Every structure is written in structure tokens, then in C-alpha cells.
Amino acid sequence: MADNLAVANIQGGPLAPDIKGTVTFRSVQGGTKVTVEVWGLPRYQPAVNGQQQVGPHGFHIHEVGICKVGDTSNPFMAAGGHWNPDNQPHGNHAGDLPVLFSNNGIAYMTFFTDKFTVAEVIGKSVIIHESPDDYRTQPAGNSGRRLACGVIRGRRDI
């Protein structure tokens, strides 16, 4: 029987240790319903002195299900790049998800996609970035540093 539910438990890294949350992937007719609940996100900060703005936060599925921090100034690089099984230009990767808006540090969002099935994302990771994705810049949308990560696990692994 195909997997119809997967969950990623999000944990902040050294740049945003207070981030916690859950991303749920559920099979629905025609695709996948994704539900996000996240707390501890940094508040929006406009770009200053040539640095990128903070928030809304880029949100992506990455190629590898490893959330090892590694370099504390550039964490979660072991998760690889954006998941892009169809070799599409950025903005149309299967792993390109809507940005997360921090409202007093909290973001709730549910959306539908037909770009992947639940079974296809199990074993990959979800990353929350510092800055918004511009959905144009190649290869990853200029969304900044990786703040939080969660490995996507199937129902049998939860």
C-alpha cells in the first residue's frame, strides 16, 4: 500500500534555535495537501546595509533527508539543494513551496500541490530559509541562510 501520510518535525538550527514545528504531507485526490505549523520564526526585518531582508521565509523541500547542522554559520548544507526531479528552472522545482509569513513568530499554512506524491518526498528534508524566495534566481531563489530543518518521514517511521 502506498504511503498517504508523511511528517517532518522542524527544528531550528544555530541561526534561529527557537523555531519548532510540523509539516504534514497527506495524499488527497489529484495530489498532496501540505499543512505547516511553525513557531519561533524571526520577525520581518527590512534589508539594511546591503544585507538581505529577514522574512517572509523561503520554504523548500531539499534533496537529502539529513538535518545535520555542520558549519554553524551556514547550517544544514547536508540537506543538499532544492529537490528538482524534473530538472525545471527555479520557480518550478517540485520542492519550491510558498513562503512562510511570520506573525509574531507563528506561521500556519495549508496548500495543495500536484507536483509530487507523499511517497516521493519521504526521506527528503524541509528547510526554512532566512529570506523570501524570489522564484527566479537560479538555482535556489536567493532565499538566504538555512534557519531550520526537518526530515520527512513516512507513517511507518513516525
pLDDT band at 111 (very low <50, low <70, confident <90, very high): very high
Q: Is the pLDDT of residue 39 over 60?
A: yes
pTM over 0.85: yes
Q: Is the pLDDT of residue 3 over 80?
A: no
Between residues 137 and 150, the one the model is more confident about: 150
Amino acid 122: pLDDT: 97
Rank 82-91, 103-112, 135-144 by mean pLDDT and report only the highest: 103-112
Distances (CA, A) of 47 to 53, 100, 119, 143: 4, 17, 38, 13
Amino acid 69: pLDDT: 96
- Distance between CA atoms of residues 145 and 77, nearest Å: 10
pLDDT band at 140 (very low <50, low <70, confident <90, very high): low
pLDDT band at 91 (very low <50, low <70, confident <90, very high): confident
Q: Is the pLDDT of residue 56 over 60?
A: yes
Q: At the topology level of CATH, where does 5-157 sit?
A: Immunoglobulin-like (2.60.40)
pLDDT band at 155 (very low <50, low <70, confident <90, very high): confident
Amino acid 65: pLDDT: 96
Amino acid 54: pLDDT: 76
Q: Is the pLDDT of residue 138 over 70?
A: no
